[in-house]
Amino acid sequence: MIVGITGRLVQWNIDSSVAWIEAGGLSYEVFIPAFAQEWLSGNTIDQELKLFTYYHVTERQPTPLLIGFASFAEREFFRKIIDVPDFGPVKAVRALTFPINEIAQWIESGDRQALRQLPGVGERLSQTLIANLQGKLIEEAQVYVKDDADGSNILMANQLMEDAIEALTTLQYSQRESEQLVISALRSDTELKSLEELLVYILENQVPT
């Protein structure tokens, strides 16, 4: 299985979501999900890239698909979401037009209206996504700030959420309620940087889940 490619960007067609990567004397056709297209468009032809990839082929779809991502986290999120019925790789490539942390937050907080912003996702599919993935995307939802080169901002965000969830459970909120309150609060105000600020915001506003 091909899990990654490092090679030269030969061609990029944003309309078809396809990039050609040349590596080791071979050229690979790689589909790029909508949420990663801005990153890829920031690169120039002939520039060397490193892509994390997902290789997809089944009996029902014998033509292989190679899908590329800027990070391992994006790849793992994609693997989870295409396991949802009626949400296969081709649909996912075109439908995932928002950053993965936002989509994960919508699923974790049960926000069907927000999910319907995704191309091809209606009321029924939004319900299916929530039913299948809610509770499984906490880590992805926590990454709500820009990833610094050393990953420090993501680590800070994860720790803040963990501390806030633990604090709320001591106040007799359930684990699920605590997770949803914290995620919803951070979606509403991403300037909340300390545990005290976050807890005060939640308790004063009782952010709906």
Note the pLDDT tens digit of each residue in 170-205: 888 887 788 778 877 776 765 777 888 889 988 888
CB atoms within 10 A of CB 175: 12
Note the pLDDT tens digit of each residue in 90-148: 899 989 999 888 899 899 889 999 999 999 999 999 999 999 999 888 777 765 444 44
**Spacing of C-alpha 77 from chain mean position:** 5
Instruction: Indicate if the alpha-carbon torsion angle 145, 147, 153, 157 is positive or negative.
Output: positive
Residues of the chain with CATH 2.40.50.140: 4-133
> What pTM was computed for the model?
0.67
CATH number for the domain whose boundaries are 4-133: 2.40.50.140
